[in-house]
Amino acid sequence: MTVRKLKPSETAGVLKQIITKQGNVCGICSKPFTARDYAVLDHCHKSGFIRGALHNSCNGAEGRIKSKAQMGHKGVTPTDYVIGLAAYLTVHKKIHYPLIMHSHKNEDEKRLAKNAKARRTRAKAK
């Protein structure tokens, strides 16, 4: 395999080829590209190698998640951290502990708090 650096003028053509190869869907979420959530070339910031086409939003999220993963447990690669996180969230789709966090508010509690705040704001304005 011959490795070469893309010229800026080649980027759009390569993106189009990759989009076609991926079936016009994002490499992360598998949803189609749209005018609003358009395709971008994703690449490794360490090696520079192109990985595929992603939604602009998925590409940004991937970068932010990877950065946050590096802040996780030291000695674990960002990839292993994200895989571990995905496994953890998959296991915990099912409720294991019948307890709700004290600070959690359901939709009704959120609505009531928002209304109470609005009433206080209106009272101060008088």
**Contact partners, residue 78, CB within 8 Å, separation at least 6:** 66, 69, 70, 72
Examine the pLDDT at 69 and tell me if it is beyond 90. Answer: no
Kindly tell me the sign of the dihedral angle through the C-alpha atoms of 81, 86, 87, 88: positive
pLDDT at position 75: 84
Q: Torsions phi, psi of 51, nearest 5?
A: -105, -30
Q: How far apart are CA 104 and CA 121, in angstroms?
A: 24
pLDDT in tens, 70-110: 887 778 888 898 899 899 999 999 989 888 899 999 999 99
Q: Map out the domains of the chain with their CATH numbers.
A: 8-71 (3.40.1800.10)
Regarding pTM above 0.85, the answer is no
For the chain, what is the mean pLDDT?
A: 92
Examine the pLDDT at 66 and tell me if it is beyond 90. Answer: no
pLDDT in tens, 40-54: 999 988 889 999 999
Tokens linked to 19: 């989009």
Q: How far apart are CA 82 and CA 67, in angstroms?
A: 11
